[in-house]
A and B are shown apart, each in its own frame.
Chain A
Amino acid sequence: MHARTLRFLGLGLVLSAGAAALTAQQTPPPPLVTAQEILDGLTPDGSRWLTFGGNYSNQRHSPLTQITPANVNRLVPQWTFQTGTLGNFETTSLFRDNVLYVTGPQNVAWALDARTGRQIWRYRRELPPNLTACCGLVNRGFGVLGDKLFMVTLDAHLLALDKNTGAVAWDVAMQDYKTGYASTIAPVVAKNKVIVGVAGGEFGIRGFIDAYDAQTGKREWRFYTIPGPGEPGHETWAGDSWKIGGSGVWVTGAYDPEQNLVFYGTGNPGPDYHSESREGDNLYSTSLVALDVDTGKLRWHYQFTPHDVHDWDSTEVPVLADMTIAGQPRKVVMFANRNGFYYTLDRTTGKVIAAKPFVTTTWAKEIGRDGRPIELPGHTPDEKGAPTCPDITGGTNFWPPTFDPATRTFFVNAREACMTFYAWKPEYRAGDRFTGGAGQRAQGSEQVYGALRAIDPATGDRKWEFRYLTPSTAGLLTTASGLIFSGDAEGNLLALDSREGKLLWRYQMGAAMHGTSPTTYMLDGRQHLLVPAGTTLTAWALPQ
């Protein structure tokens, strides 16, 4: 044995002894994140926020009550974290054991000390230079299980990161990004599976939802949102249009453990506006699909906008709840759609319980008894242009709504806007934009506005609204103390009374909460409010 080897051994012994001494002085590390913890969701102790929507139901309703309508105006900032990257947050941060796990734009991610906002680790993915991801180089958050965090990437990979170091544990390519695929969705981790989808509805992709083994990254199943030859629904696509029909999945679904189902909204069919090449309903685009978690098999589907020609992705956030409607206990999924209608569906069957416009809607009169919209003529885009409400961005969009079970109220940030839609025949080139049309602000569109609307899910009727100066793209959070947190497009963070919509408190953040919701948790006995806005993450609490 060489002298150098002996020295190594000696050093090893010293290090081991040091490690033992450290261990003896410190508390043991917290147990790994368990499936049960995620299933339990938001608990009254406020100790964690482990999924995109707080709970698998996506209600974004916190049981915490320390911050109330009476004291919300005393909130003070605790710290602000700046990303130092280009692009803005669209993320929901996860919280556990005093640490925040945050994804940002450009596939940068961090673990932050929740007490101080100081970085613990940072992960940055080297992205290919010729990336053409639509629409925004963003990411909507981590999933977590065990010692791993799960994050999708703009070049259509799924990564597992070590929760304690940010090191990549496994990295799997979902599809070739060069053919238009990207991914921005926050994963659902159900049982031992990481469930994700792909974006690219404007680039001629064939959308899908995938499930991967959380430990190994092995793909367990794939559900194509456009059925292949021989599968039911394939006949709803003319010719070969199914191969490039879009129908991406870029917003997080909900999970119903009792039924063993995940519910995902699907994106627009492509080309977006010129639709001669894809005659038919184009299943399962612009739909809600209910999939078996173990197999990925379709249990039911409901298509909100058959043969969509307005780019109205149904990639809004589905929200689950149990409630009594007309004297009957119902298991429902609530869905405010980009097409301007609000829906309450029976989540065991996919049948419509209530459907009503929640914004000005000119393309359809109503939803018929068979669940199909009764469309009005004159709204198919062409070279001359077809004025239609809502506009391309829609009555709402991917920003999360919220549901307060105590008052049985669904809340959504709604947009009142119309547009003239045009269409022309596009040419498909792999990886290129493939939309076949465009929009133009309709005359008088300066009058567009937005509002936070409270909706009764039993009927779709409006309970109250709070009007913004311009449409807001912020997500929402409600708390059991009767608060709703939102933001406006001018950068104000807002707290309102969730029963009446009365404004209680505001703070100018300097950037709008675009697609982001505040979250809340307990830290050292104090309820914290975490707000991602622009390139900053700010934590608030009541004074000590």
Chain B
Amino acid sequence: MRITHSMLTVAMVCMVGGSLFAAQDPPAKNPLEGNSDAIRGGMGLYRARCADCHGMDARGVRAPDITQVWASGRTDAGLFKTIKEGVAGTEMPANPRVQDAEAWQILAYLRTMAAPAPTDPPRGNALNGERIFRANCAGCHRVKGVGGRLGPDLSRIGVARSREAVLLRIRRGTEGFGAGFEPVTLTPPSGPPIQGVKKNEDLFSVQIMDTRERIQGYEKDKMKSVKDDTKSAMPVFGADRLSDGDLDDLLRYLQTLRGFDPAVVP
């Protein structure tokens, strides 16, 4: 085939256009993450533009809790797009006036509310931490598709919670329960009580995962009692059960857990 001048011109325009377009694509990762000036600027922007609906602490008022967006698998680039373009058909508006740098600042600040960056230098041995996890935690918690289901999946805990928050959870047990993990005991008319965690509830029924990981719904009026437990199935790991050194190792391991891609490569 003879390559003509006009074909070459078209190809060049396409290439230039393509690279221009690529230059306009947002980076996949927030270029301002961890930048203290950006976080400070982002706080002001967040409060002016987002807090009224998403709450001062981003845990949701009239709009959803957005502290767990990374934990639920959203990416920086996806969130950037959401800020700029909104969510069609919902109350989340497009923000055409928000500059790219401002959107990244908002995300840098939001990230600190999701999982504040540790101020201390990292310590502990992640490899040993993984062994400790498998021995003590994996019965109830799942990581990368392996482990129990009674407690929350921890595959993204490293981006979802600060080291300090996880430490408190391990040392003190639970202080409040996440949605879907509130412990409950159902007492049927006959037979032993059924213990589990609540997956859903209304005035008339409750849907649970019991301690054998069976999911099942129950009508409340068919039970002798339905009692919200105050104590979680999550044991307290005091220094007697987990030394400070082992705790450091475990936390180091958990901080490495930054997501799980379940895609199967054929």
Indicate the size class of the contact surface on chain B: 20 to 34
**A86 interface hit (Cβ, 8 Å):** yes
- The answer to whether A488 and B90 touch across the interface, beta carbons within 8 angstroms, is no
Knowing A137-B90, A426-B48, A490-B203 touch, does A439 contact B56 (C-beta < 8 A)?
yes
CB closest chain-A residue, reference B176 = A446
- The answer to whether A440 and B56 touch across the interface, beta carbons within 8 angstroms, is yes
- The answer to whether B52 and A437 touch across the interface, beta carbons within 8 angstroms, is yes
- How far, in Å, is B170 (CB) from chain A's closest CB? 22
Q: Which residues of A contact B108 (CB under 8 A)?
A: none
Q: Which residue of A135, A137, A438 contacts B51 across the interface (Cβ within 8 Å)?
A: A438
**A156 interface hit (Cβ, 8 Å):** no
Q: Which residues of A contact B51 (CB under 8 A)?
A: 422, 437-438
Knowing A491-B202, A492-B202 touch, does A432 contact B97 (C-beta < 8 A)?
yes
A136 to B48, CA, bound (A): 19
Q: Which residues of B contact A433 (CB under 8 A)?
A: 48-49, 52
B46-89 interface bits toward A, Cβ cutoff 8 Å, 1 = contact, 0 = none: 01110110011101011000000000000000000000000011
Interface size of A by Cβ–Cβ distance < 8 Å?
Answer: 43
- How far, in Å, is B71 (CB) from chain A's closest CB? 19
**Chain A 132-168 residues near chain B, CB threshold 8 A:** 132-137
- The answer to whether A427 and B52 touch across the interface, beta carbons within 8 angstroms, is no
Q: Which residue of B55, B89, B176 contacts A86 across the interface (Cβ within 8 Å)?
A: B89
Q: Which residues of B contact A85 (CB under 8 A)?
A: 89
CB closest chain-B residue, reference A508 = B202
Knowing A135-B91, A427-B48 touch, does A469 contact B55 (C-beta < 8 A)?
no
Q: Which residues of A contact B176 (CB under 8 A)?
A: 446
- The answer to whether A492 and B55 touch across the interface, beta carbons within 8 angstroms, is no
Knowing A393-B62, A432-B97, A438-B55 touch, does A87 contact B90 (C-beta < 8 A)?
yes
- The answer to whether B52 and A469 touch across the interface, beta carbons within 8 angstroms, is no
A271 to B67, CA, bound (A): 26
CB closest chain-B residue, reference A273 = B52
**B93 interface hit (Cβ, 8 Å):** yes
**B201 interface hit (Cβ, 8 Å):** yes
Knowing A427-B48, A435-B52 touch, does A87 contact B203 (C-beta < 8 A)?
no
A169 to B55, CA, bound (A): 43
- The answer to whether A440 and B55 touch across the interface, beta carbons within 8 angstroms, is yes
- The answer to whether A469 and B203 touch across the interface, beta carbons within 8 angstroms, is yes
- The answer to whether B47 and A106 touch across the interface, beta carbons within 8 angstroms, is no
**A392 interface hit (Cβ, 8 Å):** yes
**B215 interface hit (Cβ, 8 Å):** no
- The answer to whether B52 and A137 touch across the interface, beta carbons within 8 angstroms, is no
A-B residue pairs in contact (CB < 8 Å), sample of 29? A87-B89, A129-B94, A130-B96, A131-B93, A137-B90, A202-B52, A272-B52, A392-B61, A420-B56, A422-B51, A422-B56, A426-B48, A427-B48, A433-B48, A435-B52, A437-B51, A438-B47, A438-B51, A438-B52, A438-B61, A439-B56, A440-B59, A441-B57, A488-B203, A490-B202, A490-B203, A492-B202, A492-B203, A508-B202
Chain A residues near B (Cβ < 8 Å): 85-87, 105-106, 129-137, 202, 272, 385, 392-393, 419-420, 422, 424, 426-427, 429, 432-433, 435, 437-441, 446, 468-469, 488, 490-492, 506, 508
